[in-house]
Structure 1
């Protein structure tokens, strides 16, 4: 009687897909970085930069910066490894590189925010008290209109609130003659000549301003006046071309 004999070796056919592992690694890398940035953005939407304690906010920023630096280093190494492979999916590599750019942008933003808080908490001897920190402009959807943002800060002594009013004027030319226009007359978001403020660390004033026909802006003048026990004045002028250059 003849018995069937099993073969000593069994073979399994596996489909060979060049570059599959590298493609999968790049895609996973892209998703992990985007998830990290999305998580960070969610933290901001919950008030990360608007914490009542500047010291606590600085610590959070420093921790986030360290974490993003680590992820950035790992991502760069992954891209180098992918570039060394023989079969690389172009779309996967593009996604990985896009994620790297987003990570670099977030790191730069974090560094800027850290510098902002450090200047508030540890100022130089010549820059204490009420300060006009910045004024920014960005083109709006409407022609001749701009989104503006004014940032006031209290540098050094932040134990108590500072309050007062701030006036903003746009200085320019119309029909070759100098003209000064109050921000109230250019923006529907501003009702008074002097915008009231009250804060411990900083306060933003935001809105949209629209330039009248025939008016050529030259500079923006900001004058902030603190009242009460912390009475003081801070003034700063911003060149229009510097604010709007791309």
Structure 2
């Protein structure tokens, strides 16, 4: 009794290798990249990329760099020269300003002297004869000490001398009470209550006065008395603050 048999199925045995597919893919990828690089290099070699052009470009860049360095050095030197020139200009300008101030001060002094002499030689009708022209104070290095200068003038008739005495008093407060101190008691340069004078045009009385520590000066009182044929009196009071504000 025969029976029909189905043909037997064939099986293929494949060895299991973990990671094989991944390694194969990676190898193919590497070969592809290497081939691409090789082709690019060959193209560069044939297509005209030349190392000589790189060297030429490098030479040009070095030349430009040298030029820039020279320009930079020159610019720095110009800045230094300008700074020096500016310093010299500033020094010259400061000196010029100082000279101008000195000249202006001198001009003002000369104008004051000119006015002084004009007033003596060509006075107004109300300012003839003996005059107390001015009194000035300048602080000394010693505390409470001042250099003083009194100027007396004879205005108008200067053909003959005028003579007499002048008294100077400092009026102020001591312990909130008014007090009058003669210049003789404040200055070693003045010996008498009345300082003698004799002149045709003008005379200066100068010296150093020292104030007491507890004395507050307020005014300077000057009284000049001419004697003889030109007997007359001139009196003038000066505010202490006005004399010392500068």
Q: In the TM superposition, what is the alpha-carbon distance from 1:88 to its structure 2 partner?
A: 6.4
Q: 2:202 maps to which residue?
A: 202
Q: 2:46 maps to which residue?
A: none
Q: Which runs of 5 or more residues in structure 1 are unaligned? A: 1-15, 24-85
Question: Secondary structure of the equivalent of 1:108?
Answer: helix
Q: 1:112 maps to which residue?
A: 112
Instruction: Using structure 2 for the length normalisation, give the TM-score.
Output: 0.64
Q: 2:213 maps to which residue?
A: 213
After superposition, residues 1-246 of structure 1 pair within 5 angstroms as 89-246=89-246
Determine the C-alpha separation between the residues in 2 that align with 1:118 and 1:166. 24
Q: In the TM superposition, what is the alpha-carbon distance from 1:89 to its structure 2 partner?
A: 2.3
Determine the C-alpha separation between the residues in 2 that align with 1:131 and 1:138. 22
Question: Secondary structure of the equivalent of 1:115?
Answer: helix
Instruction: Using structure 1 for the length normalisation, give the TM-score.
Output: 0.64
Structure 1 residues 87, 213: CA separation in 2 closer, same or farther (over 3 Å shift)? closer
Q: In the TM superposition, what is the alpha-carbon distance from 1:87 to its structure 2 partner?
A: 9.9
Structure 1 residues 191, 87: CA separation in 2 closer, same or farther (over 3 Å shift)? closer
Determine the C-alpha separation between the residues in 1 that align with 2:105 and 2:191. 36
The alignment yields a C-alpha RMSD, in angstroms, of 2.0
Q: Which runs of 5 or more residues in structure 2 are unaligned? A: 1-77
Runs of 4+ displaced beyond 4 Å: none
Q: In the TM superposition, what is the alpha-carbon distance from 1:103 to its structure 2 partner?
A: 1.2
Determine the C-alpha separation between the residues in 1 that align with 2:192 and 2:206. 14
* CA radius of gyration, larger in: 2
